[in-house]
């Protein structure tokens, strides 16, 4: 893609998200979503082939439907309140339709069907943008309307997302699909706590973006797209492979690592609000995510796949430019659990 065109498209994507995050007028928010959606499609089709075209079409149809529902909710709310202000979501029907539209944009269950297929059909760099940056705008709107959201419906979608995020990834060997189902699960955790403590949702989102960003950048560095290609990396680049596996265990929420922090705090917060069954179900279903990450770790580091590579020290001569900018991100993604007490300052 021409660098000038690519920079214009990326500027439009960023500008669309910024408009959504900083506006208090529903029409401006809708325009921001549309700018973001129309600009991201050329990025998804960057490596043009029938598979990426199919993924982009699925993404467009889903997001266009969500935008239509969002505008319907805005119009219904306007008829009842007479205002375009985002904080005046007083009509229950409008609130439910708005929540469904934002859930579709985020990929929450039962509207998750598009996310694994779209992520699998695009390049790793496009998948990185789809699973990180594209979550900011819908979550910011959910954050702003959280006082008027139907709590039972949101908790039901959150539980379904955590469960599907675990079950869906069990039989996957494609790394992009695994990351997509992981994203669905993490979105479930974020929306479950949104009603009780919205600030904790932002903490979870920040850590999720840091972990996903690190993992995708290392996938791009090693050109790994499947479990098999990742397992062959062990012979060539054991250090990078070890870091990838640590990051994946952190994404799964293994206790010594950073990914355990948001789960721990969310379970604690839900328990404080006299909710016992919901965090119990979420903790049990989160074990499914941890299982497929552990299985990936086992297949990569504890088994030896057939290989024609007889030069076992080849990794010593590999290009390691990535080491100059990755360590801080990796530390944030894996080792900040001891800083958990500092998060009380966020409350």
At 61, which helix (H) or strand (E)?
Answer: helix 50-81
Phi–psi pair at 311, nearest 5 degrees: -95, 90
Output the average pLDDT for the chain.
Answer: 86
Residues 74-86: tens digit of each pLDDT: 999 999 888 888 8
Is pLDDT larger for residue 132 or for residue 255?
132
Is pLDDT larger for residue 123 or for residue 221?
123
**Which residues touch 47 (CB under 8 Å, ≥6 apart)?**
122, 123
What whole-number distance in Å separates Cα of residue 46 and Cα of residue 40?
10
What whole-number distance in Å separates Cα of residue 325 and Cα of residue 218?
12
**Which residues touch 238 (CB under 8 Å, ≥6 apart)?**
315
* Mean pLDDT across 213-239: 82
Positive or negative torsion for Cα 265, 183, 246, 291: positive
Least confident window among 88-92, 166-170, 202-206: 88-92
Write down the domain spans for the chain.
Answer: 3-346
The closest of 247, 219, 254, 212 to 233, measured between CA atoms, is 219
pLDDT grade, residue 319 (50/70/90)?
A: low
pLDDT value at position 309? 54
Provide the percentage of residues in the chain whose pLDDT is more than 90.
51
pLDDT value at position 315? 46
pLDDT value at position 317? 46
Residues 12-36: tens digit of each pLDDT: 999 999 999 999 899 999 999 999 9
What whole-number distance in Å separates Cα of residue 19 and Cα of residue 264?
33
Least confident window among 90-94, 270-274, 304-308: 304-308
* Mean pLDDT across 287-304: 80
pLDDT value at position 13? 95
Q: Is the pLDDT of residue 231 over 90?
A: no
Residues 243-252: tens digit of each pLDDT: 888 888 898 8
Residues 154-203: tens digit of each pLDDT: 999 999 999 999 898 888 889 999 999 999 999 999 999 998 988 899 99
pLDDT value at position 344? 59
pTM check: above 0.85: yes
């Amino acid at each position: 893609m021409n660098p000038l065109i690519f920079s214009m498209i990326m500027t439009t994507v960023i500008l669309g998200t910024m408009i959504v995050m900083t506006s208090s007028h529903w029409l401006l928010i809708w325009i921001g979503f549309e700018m973001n959606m129309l600009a991201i499609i050329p990025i998804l089709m960057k490596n043009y082939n029938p598979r990426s075209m199919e993924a982009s079409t699925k993404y467009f149809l889903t997001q266009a439907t969500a935008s239509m529902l969002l505008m319907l909710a805005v119009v219904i709310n306007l008829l009842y309140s007479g205002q375009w202000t985002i904080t005046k979501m007083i009509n229950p029907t409008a609130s439910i339709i708005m929540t469904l539209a934002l859930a579709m944009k985020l990929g929450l269950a039962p509207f998750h069907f598009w996310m694994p297929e779209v992520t699998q059909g695009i390049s790793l760099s496009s998948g990185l943008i789809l699973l990180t940056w594209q979550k900011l705008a819908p979550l910011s709107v959910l954050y702003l309307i959280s006082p008027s959201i139907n709590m039972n419906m949101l908790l039901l979608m959150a539980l379904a997302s955590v469960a599907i995020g675990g079950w869906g990834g069990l039989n996957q060997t494609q790394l992009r699909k695994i990351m997509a189902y992981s994203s669905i699960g993490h979105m479930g955790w974020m929306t479950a706590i949104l009603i009780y403590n919205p600030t904790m949702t932002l903490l979870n989102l920040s850590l999720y973006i840091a972990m996903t960003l690190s993992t995708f950048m290392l996938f791009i560095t090693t050109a790994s797209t499947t479990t098999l290609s990742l397992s062959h990396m062990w012979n060539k680049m054991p250090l990078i492979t070890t870091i990838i596996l640590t990051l994946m265990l952190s994404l799964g929420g293994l206790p010594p690592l950073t990914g355990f922090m948001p789960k721990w705090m969310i379970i604690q917060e839900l328990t404080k609000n006299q909710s016992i069954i919901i965090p119990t179900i979420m903790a049990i279903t989160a074990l499914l995510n941890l299982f497929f990450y552990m299985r990936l770790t086992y297949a990569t580091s504890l088994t030896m796949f057939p290989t024609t590579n007889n030069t076992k020290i080849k990794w010593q001569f590999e290009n390691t430019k990535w080491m100059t900018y990755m360590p801080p991100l990796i530390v944030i993604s894996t080792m900040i659990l001891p800083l958990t007490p500092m998060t009380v300052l966020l409350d």
